[in-house]
Amino acid sequence: MTPPPPVTETTVPPPPAPGLSRRRLLGHGMAAAGALLTAGPLSGCASPASASDASALSVWDLFQGGDGMLMDDMIRTVSSGTDGFEVDRTILDWGPSYYTKLAMSAAGGRASDVAVAHLSRLPGYAPGGLLDPFDLGLLAEFGVTPEDFTPAVWARTRHAGAVYAVPLDVHPFIVFYDKEAADKAGLLDSSGELTATGSPEALLEAGKALAAATGASGILFGHVTDTAQSWRQFAALYAQTGAAFTLPDGGPAEIDIDAAVRVVTFMQRLFDGTTNPRNLDYNGAMAGFLGGRGGMVMLGEWELPTLRKSGIPLGAAPFPQVFDRPAVYTDCHGFVLPHQHDPDPARRREAHRYVAAMVKQSLTWAKAGHIPAYRPVLATPEYAALDPQSSYADAAEVAVLDPPNWFAGAGSDFQNRMCQPLQSALLGNTSAEKAVRQMVREADALLRRPNPVA
């Protein structure tokens, strides 16, 4: 799940763009609480469209800052022309509160026409009837089919044989690197791209070479006090071993202890406190890379706009494969249909048309670093020309998301509970085996919890 981007919009929404009947930003803290009591979209789980023009498609999302402006651009494009949409957009804060509001509105059966959700959160929503399935025939009529998406991503849109999301993007955990430092370290191939590592020892050696090239550190990774970073790294490396991380309802967790210990041991070796720091928080890792105190940094691709502004000769690549098979930890934003008790067929048809139109606009979305999930966009010369975005596009083919459980996914307590023992291991406060055993206990505890919407 992406951390919240910097909020660059004011608390007063700008004038509506053509095609956007209203654009509401529901903010933080007590201001958000006040909005919940007074704003049309959330008052009594009322339909957002009821607050303005009932003919407008009501859409909810969590995109602020630069992402929010790109989403505005996409909506403006699909809203132009004689067959354009009239859109009533409501923007809510990213985080657990977003999913609470989405669930409450869907439970009331008077939710928005379309909303954005992470695919990793679908197992907590589709089985409980909080989302309505898409009509694949309608999507095909508007030019979107399952074959337009990678199997790894499309598989996570389904529940009980039905499709509950249409992916907009893939946002992976990748590496950014300083091209000058990487060149000095001998890590670039003949085309100027990062060479593949292929083994744990090769990545360890790459870290040493980058440290020598920068005169400081090699690979930077901010994890201290973060609720997701260590899990993202662990999940990618664990998937590369080929072992399964399965959490069956009721438990116990089915986790390959040996593979997990192997992964955590490698993480401890990689972030040894000398070649690569082991005690950085998220902002510390960002600052170190931006200040030239590291040749590579492990981050989500969503940090591309910030890193690009630095002036660093920036390169990017999928998360390195060091074990048996390629795998990159990712999540995906997708469009969903929140449950409505009695949806109007014509309006629901328009919702399908809108979703199809929006995924076709994902070249605009790619400017922020996100990989378009819609493969016809990936195949365009315009996307191939995006640098460094096109350098890590292959991550979508080997995407690994959170386990498909109701309690997992972006912004969940599951990620936080996995990160705590991992953080302790990376800081040298516990052994790899003890950390893994604690992760298993945490997973078992979550599996014993009843699904509140089952």
- Boundaries of every domain in the chain: 20-168+332-392, 172-330+412-447
Read off the pLDDT of each residue in 401-426 and give the average, rounded to a whole number: 97
Cβ atoms of 396 and 153 closer than 8 Å: yes
| CB-based contacts of 362-367 (< 8 A; 24+ apart in sequence) | 362/74, 362/168, 362/169, 364/70, 364/73, 364/74, 364/77, 365/70, 365/71, 365/74, 365/168, 365/169, 366/169, 367/70
The pLDDT assigned to 96 comes to 85
Give 42's pLDDT tier (boundaries 50, 70, 90). very low
- Predicted confidence (pLDDT) per residue in 232-266, tens digit: 999 999 999 999 999 999 999 999 999 999 999 99
Asked if domains 20-168+332-392 and 172-330+412-447 share a fold, the reply is yes
The pLDDT assigned to 94 comes to 87
Residue partners of 217: CB distance under 8 A and separation at least 6? 210, 211, 275, 276, 277, 288, 293, 294, 295
- Predicted confidence (pLDDT) per residue in 87-114, tens digit: 999 999 988 889 999 999 999 877 999 9
State percent of the chain over pLDDT 90: 85
- Predicted confidence (pLDDT) per residue in 316-350, tens digit: 999 999 999 999 999 999 999 999 999 999 999 99
The pLDDT assigned to 20 comes to 57
Please give the CATH superfamily to which domain 20-168+332-392 belongs. Periplasmic binding protein-like II (3.40.190.10)
- Predicted confidence (pLDDT) per residue in 135-169, tens digit: 999 999 999 999 999 999 999 999 999 999 999 99
Choose among 278, 230, 141, 269: nearest CA to 442: 230
Res 52 pLDDT > 90: no
The pLDDT assigned to 99 comes to 93
Read off the pLDDT of each residue in 384-410 and give the average, rounded to a whole number: 97
User: For the whole prediction, is pTM greater than 0.85?
Assistant: yes
The pLDDT assigned to 249 comes to 92
Give 426's pLDDT tier (boundaries 50, 70, 90). very high
Topology classification of domain 172-330+412-447: D-Maltodextrin-Binding Protein; domain 2 (3.40.190)
Average pLDDT of the chain, as a whole number: 90
The pLDDT assigned to 453 comes to 74
